[in-house]
Chain A
Amino acid sequence: MIGPLIRPSQCDFIRGQLEDAVAKGARICCGGSHHGPYFEATVLSGVTATMAIYAEESFGPVTSVLRADDFEHALTLANDTRAGLSSAVVTNDLQKAFDFALRSESGMVHINDTTISDEPHIAFGGVKDSGFGREGGMASIEEMTEVKWITIQMGRREFPF
């Protein structure tokens, strides 16, 4: 299911992230190496904010599992990134799901779904370092046109002087 990374340097980059994380106490639960351009599906635990992979995007099949003490802590961890593209929450607690959706610092929130979703008629885009502007449907039309205000006066207007 996982294809090759786009170029060999990307494998080196991810390997560097993993070495840094392991040196600072993270544990590789599975994966961790690559065979040519194919990087193994990799899961890390024990990741902390001191590690590069905590903040940096990997752009490869690597993820970190972070343990949170409670809902507020999970939300804080989720928002503790310069990126703000999308997020997801898995729960049957409607109150908490919406609380998360409203307070998540991201352009897209998916409740009981994965973080990746894209439909051509819906506004796709992020906040913070994930950029600005939206793509898709009428959102694209609005981004790609200029609004002009036109007025028309019926009869003679009364000017103050």
Chain B
Amino acid sequence: MTPSIHPMYINGAWREGSDGAVADDLNPASGEVFARIAQAGARDVEDALAAAHAARVPWQKLLVNEREALLHRTADLIAEHAAEIRDLLIEETGSVMMKAPWEVGYAVECLRVAAACLRQPHGDTFPACAKGQMGMTIRQPLGVIAGIAPFNSPFLLSIKKVAFALAAGNTFVLKPSDLAPLSGLKLAEMFHAAGLPPGVLNVIPGPAALVGAALSSDPRVKMITFTGSVKVGRHLAAEAGRHMKRVTLELGGKNPLVVLADADLEYAVDAAAFGIFFTRVRYAWQVPGSSSRRRCTRLSSSGSLPRLAPSRSAIRAIRPR
């Protein structure tokens, strides 16, 4: 059976792409087509930007407690749909049972934190050097923010961008990862069900050459927030500079874990193994001084490396379910 086509979310409505383009969304465990995703064309991107631009003023005028309630309602809905979203993450991205529920729980907390931020002070007052003058700073929303999300934690990292942007009074156009578009569309479904006004969030899967390029150059977009590769991040930073937009980039890592000679070795191995096999780590081993050189010899011949070796521990490849 051919999977049905998932529409995109623009101005509070679901629709297929204006060019009729569709892309396959593969299950990485089986390699089979898991879903078919409508792809945004130039007209869809324009409609999403126009909707977000038009929605920004009424969204900014909502009272703090109204925006707060909406974020909490969305969090409640995600919590209610936790099992469904967990299964989606497993099917779409190969996320394992340890990670997928954590990602959903994080999304719920993230919305609650964003709601809490609404009630925080957002400015300062200043003494002045001119007689009788008083100064203050206030924080105002930027307007339309464009987000480009990755595949590795697609639901969590999409919500982390959208929740805070909306809390701060901005509207949003999200381009989910080509490898995990349904996670982004699911987010729109939850916000929609919570009663988010049309245009405040728009989710448009589509080719980077078209969607990414349009979002990073359009003057209505005031900020680009991206999680992904260094290569794309460098390109987006250049585009942001050219068009004078703000940009936040969460790019790659090569994260070292350093174990000093005095460390509890069992614990260090556990910490390293979790870091490596949950994500990716570079593990540096320190062996200073004469007393530990003996330790080094012993460990390198039969101790530390085999102990980190997953064949000796419980770490092995498993099917996501």
Which residues in A have some Cβ–Cβ distance to B below 8 Å?
A: 1-8, 29-31, 35-41, 43, 45, 55-71, 73-75, 77-78, 81-93, 96, 100, 106, 112-116, 118, 120-121, 124-126, 129-138, 140-158
Chain A, residue nearest B265 (CB): A90
Residue B263 CB within 8 A of the other chain: yes
B250 touches A126 (CB 8 A): yes
In the complex, the 8 A-B pairs of residues with the closest C-beta atoms, listed nearest first: A133-B248, A85-B253, A131-B249, A140-B164, A41-B310, A30-B309, A91-B260, A114-B275
Contact with A along B105-140 (1 / 0, CB 8 A): 010011011101100101100101011111111111
B283 touches A37 (CB 8 A): no
A87 touches B258 (CB 8 A): yes
Q: A5-B28, A45-B305 are in contact. Are A124 and B260 (CB under 8 A)?
A: no
B295: min CB distance to chain A, Å = 12
A130 touches B317 (CB 8 A): no
Residue B191 CB within 8 A of the other chain: no
Chain A, residue nearest B308 (CB): A43
A124 touches B252 (CB 8 A): no
Residue B279 CB within 8 A of the other chain: yes
Q: From B112, B134, B164, B260, give the contact of A71 (CB < 8 A).
A: B260
Chain A, residue nearest B222 (CB): A146
26 contacts between A and B (CB under 8 A): A2-B318, A3-B95, A40-B310, A63-B281, A67-B286, A69-B288, A70-B288, A74-B260, A83-B252, A85-B251, A86-B253, A87-B258, A88-B256, A88-B257, A89-B258, A90-B263, A100-B258, A114-B271, A130-B230, A141-B167, A145-B122, A145-B140, A153-B132, A153-B133, A154-B133, A155-B132
A2 touches B315 (CB 8 A): yes
A60 touches B139 (CB 8 A): no
State A7–B272 Cα separation when bound (angstroms): 25
Contacts of B268 in A (CB 8 A): 90
Contacts of A85 in B (CB 8 A): 251-255
A150 touches B136 (CB 8 A): yes
State A39–B310 Cα separation when bound (angstroms): 12
State A120–B116 Cα separation when bound (angstroms): 11
Contact with A along B297-321 (1 / 0, CB 8 A): 0001000111011111011111110
Contacts of B179 in A (CB 8 A): 6-7
A143 touches B130 (CB 8 A): no
Q: From A84, A88, A120, A153, give the contact of B113 (CB < 8 A).
A: A120
B192: min CB distance to chain A, Å = 22
Contacts of A147 in B (CB 8 A): 123, 137-139
A126 touches B283 (CB 8 A): no
State A129–B242 Cα separation when bound (angstroms): 19
Residue B40 CB within 8 A of the other chain: no
Residue B294 CB within 8 A of the other chain: no
Q: From A75, A92, A114, A146, give the contact of B278 (CB < 8 A).
A: A114
Which residues in B have some Cβ–Cβ distance to A below 8 Å?
A: 26, 28-29, 31, 93-96, 98-99, 106, 109-110, 112-114, 116-117, 120, 122-123, 126, 128, 130-142, 145, 151-152, 160-161, 164-165, 167-170, 179, 223, 225, 230, 233, 246-260, 262-264, 267-268, 271-272, 274-289, 296, 300, 304-306, 308-312, 314-320
Contacts of A45 in B (CB 8 A): 300, 305
A4 touches B253 (CB 8 A): no
Q: A2-B96, A4-B29, A86-B253 are in contact. Are A38 and B317 (CB under 8 A)?
A: yes
B133 touches A151 (CB 8 A): yes
State A66–B318 Cα separation when bound (angstroms): 28
State A149–B254 Cα separation when bound (angstroms): 40
B286 touches A71 (CB 8 A): yes
B106: min CB distance to chain A, Å = 6
Contacts of B296 in A (CB 8 A): 67
Contacts of A41 in B (CB 8 A): 276-277, 310, 315-317
B32: min CB distance to chain A, Å = 12
Q: A41-B310, A90-B258 are in contact. Are A65 and B283 (CB under 8 A)?
A: yes
State A110–B235 Cα separation when bound (angstroms): 30
A66: min CB distance to chain B, Å = 5
State A85–B272 Cα separation when bound (angstroms): 16
Q: A93-B262, A115-B275, A125-B250 are in contact. Are A131 and B233 (CB under 8 A)?
A: yes
State A100–B263 Cα separation when bound (angstroms): 14
Q: A1-B96, A5-B94 are in contact. Are A151 and B135 (CB under 8 A)?
A: yes
